[in-house]
Amino acid sequence: MMNPKKILMSRVLMWLPLAVGLTGCAGSVTEEREEAQIQSQVEEQGGGVAGGINPNQAGQEELLVLPHLDSVLVEGILERRPFLSMRELNAFLSESLGEEQRAELYVQLFVPMNLNTTAEEDFLLVPGVGPRLAHEFEEYRPYQAMAQFRREIGKYVDEEEVARLEQYVFVPINLNTASDEEILTIPGVGSRLLHEFKEYRPYDSIEQFRREIGKYVSEDEVSRLERYVTL
């Protein structure tokens, strides 16, 4: 009969290569798992902008209940996103929907507009905004924060209307100084991606942001997120 010590030693030697192999790949497995978790969280954030639905995050079921959207249009939205501007979404939907239909739809479905870069005429796509108010949106550039928008546009409409208009616009946040709360206002950003945004501070360039965040989400998603940040 074999000596018990020899049996134990042979088993240790048999399992040692496997253990080493598992240790060697643990880092890559962990990284892949983290990337998958972040991507999943981005997808699970849903379509929320305050009071509305962002077509770049909304699920099929969310879109199908909106006015004037049928299965064909919803499929087209899902295939073409991310829409990097409201102009892009409007161009697609105008092929199938009339102006009044789109106006009714945009009360609930909207790609948030950058207050500092959006063309004045594009602000007319914001529900309830006419030429005069669109001009005022543009008049006070550059906006440093949403508080400035509230103060300036509050000269022309009441507080409740300012809050409604705020649903459709945003001011890019500074990657190196933004608070957690500010970063989490970006549609699709949750706690895991918040961590990665902060992990690579200080950012020297937008190219660095693209490179680092591109480790966790797709190139299209990086392009969408990039709209909401600045240096």
pLDDT in tens, the chain (231 residues): 445 444 444 444 444 443 444 444 445 555 566 555 554 544 444 444 444 799 999 999 999 999 999 999 999 999 999 999 999 999 999 999 999 999 999 999 999 999 999 999 999 999 999 999 999 999 999 999 999 999 999 999 999 999 999 999 999 999 999 999 999 999 999 999 999 999 999 999 999 999 999 999 999 999 999 999 999
Q: What are 127-158's pLDDT values in tens digits?
A: 999 999 999 999 999 999 999 999 999 999 99
Q: Contact at 8 Å (CB) between 216 and 38?
A: yes
User: Is beta strand 48-49 parallel, antiparallel or unpaired with respect to 52-53?
Assistant: antiparallel
CATH superfamily of 112-171: Photosystem II 12 kDa extrinsic protein (1.10.150.320)
Give the span between the Cα atoms of 38 and 41, in whole angstroms: 5
Helix (H, G, I), strand (E, B) or coil at 64: helix
Give the angle subtended at the CA of 185 by the CAs of 179 and 187, to the nearest 5°: 140
Which pLDDT score is estimated for 18? 39
Report domain extents, the chain: 44-111, 112-171, 172-231
Cβ burial, residue 205 (10 Å; 0-12/13-18/19+): exposed
